[in-house]
Amino acid sequence: IQLIAGNAHRALAEAISTEMNVPLCDAHVGRFPDGEIDIKIDDDVRGTDCFVLQPTCPPVNENWIELLLLIDCLRRASAGRITAVMPYYGYARKDRKDEGRVPISAKVVANTLTRSGADRVLTVDMHAAQIQGFYDVPVDHLYAKPVMIEEIIKLGIENPVVVTPDVGGIKMARSYAKVLDADLAIVDKRRISGAEVAVEHVIGDVKGRNVIIVDDMISTGGSISGAADILKKHGAKQVVICVTHAVFCGPAVERLTACAADHVLVTDTIPQRVEGQPAKLRVVSVA
C-alpha cells in the first residue's frame, strides 16, 4: 500500500497514516512560479495499491486539480490500483439541473476523476448518495455515524429526539435515530439564497426533550443555527448539533457561536483553524 497526500488536508493524511501504521509516500506537491501545480513522486509506485488522500474541500478548485494531477501521475508511473480518498467531496451539491442553464457540476468532476485514471473513489457522507451512479468504478461511501455516535454517548444525552434541519436529510437522521433508539422530528426550511434560509416550522414533538440535529454539512451555518434556535423556542432542553462536514464559510462561526445549540460536533474531513472557534465545538476524527 502507498499513501499519497496532496496539500488539501495534511493533518488528516498524517492521522490516517498513523492509524494504518503506513508512512506517507515521499512526494513533492508544490507550485510553479505561475501557480500551476508541480508534482513529483519520489517513491517507486509500480504495481502498488495507491490511496490518494485529498478531500476536495476549500479551496475546492485547487484541491480538485491537485487530486486529478496526482492520479494522472500515479497512472503514468504504472501504479497497480488508484483510490481517490475524498472524505469531503466538493461540488456534490450540484447533482442535477434544478433550473435552466446551469451545469451539473458533480457529473463534470466525476467524469474528470474517472478519466484521470482513478480505479476507486472513497468518500464520507456524500451530500447526494446518487452521485455514486456518476461513476463506472466502485465508490465506497462511508459514514461518520459510528464515530459521531461514540461522541454523542460521551455527552450523556438522555432520551434524545433526532432532528433533520430539512426534509432532504430525513434518511440520515433516521439512521442516527435507529442506532440511538430515538424519536424523529423535522425542521421545515426554505432556502432564500446561498447564505440565507427561512426556518419556519417544527414537525414533531421536542418540548422538554434533548435534541440532536443531524446534517451532512455546515456551509454558512444558516440552516443549522436556525434549526437550533427554533427547536429551543419549541421547548427543547439540550440542543446538540452533529454535522459531518464543517465547511464553515462566511458567517458560519459567528452563527454557531450565537445560536442556541449547547454542543456542536463536527468531523475533521475539512481542516479546522484552532483559534476563534466556538467553545462548544468538538472535532471528531474520521481517520
Question: Would you say 209 and 159 are in contact if contact means Cβ atoms under 8 Å apart?
Answer: yes
Single residue of 121, 213, 217, 239 touching ligand R5P by CB under 6 A: 217
The verdict on 222 binding ligand R5P (CB under 6 A) reads yes
The verdict on 223 binding ligand R5P (CB under 6 A) reads yes
Closer Cβ to ligand R5P, 71 or 172, answer by number: 172
Radius of gyration of the chain (CA): 20
The verdict on 125 binding ligand R5P (CB under 6 A) reads no
Element holding 39 (H helix, E strand): strand 37-41
154 given a catalytic annotation: no
The verdict on 246 binding ligand R5P (CB under 6 A) reads no
Q: Is 230 helix (H, G, I), strand (E, B) or coil?
A: helix
The window from 50-58, 136-144, 164-172, 204-212 that contacts ligand R5P (CB under 6 A) reads 164-172
Residue 32 Cβ vs ligand R5P, minimum distance, rounded to whole Å: 34
The verdict on 7 binding ligand R5P (CB under 6 A) reads no
**Measured distance CA(162)–CA(171) in Å, rounded:** 11
Catalytic residue selected from 107, 189, 233, 237: 189
Closer Cβ to ligand R5P, 210 or 220, answer by number: 220
Closest C-alpha to 59, from 266, 284, 267, 247: 247
Residues making up the annotated binding site for Mg(2+) are: 127, 166
Residue 265 Cβ vs ligand R5P, minimum distance, rounded to whole Å: 15
The verdict on 215 binding ligand R5P (CB under 6 A) reads yes
Residue 114 Cβ vs ligand R5P, minimum distance, rounded to whole Å: 25
Closer Cβ to ligand R5P, 109 or 243, answer by number: 243
Q: Which residues contact 165 (CB under 8 A, 6 or more apart)?
A: 187, 189, 199, 213, 215, 223, 224, 226, 227
Closer Cβ to ligand R5P, 3 or 187, answer by number: 187
Residue-by-residue DSSP string for 108-150 = HHHHHHHHHT-SEEEEES-SSGGGGGG-SS-EEEE-SHHHHHH
User: What pairing do the DSSP bridges indicate for beta strands 211-218 and 197-203?
Assistant: unpaired
Closest C-alpha to 85, from 75, 72, 71, 74: 71
Catalytic residues: 189
Binding site for ligand R5P (CB under 6 A): 165-166, 168-169, 197, 215-224
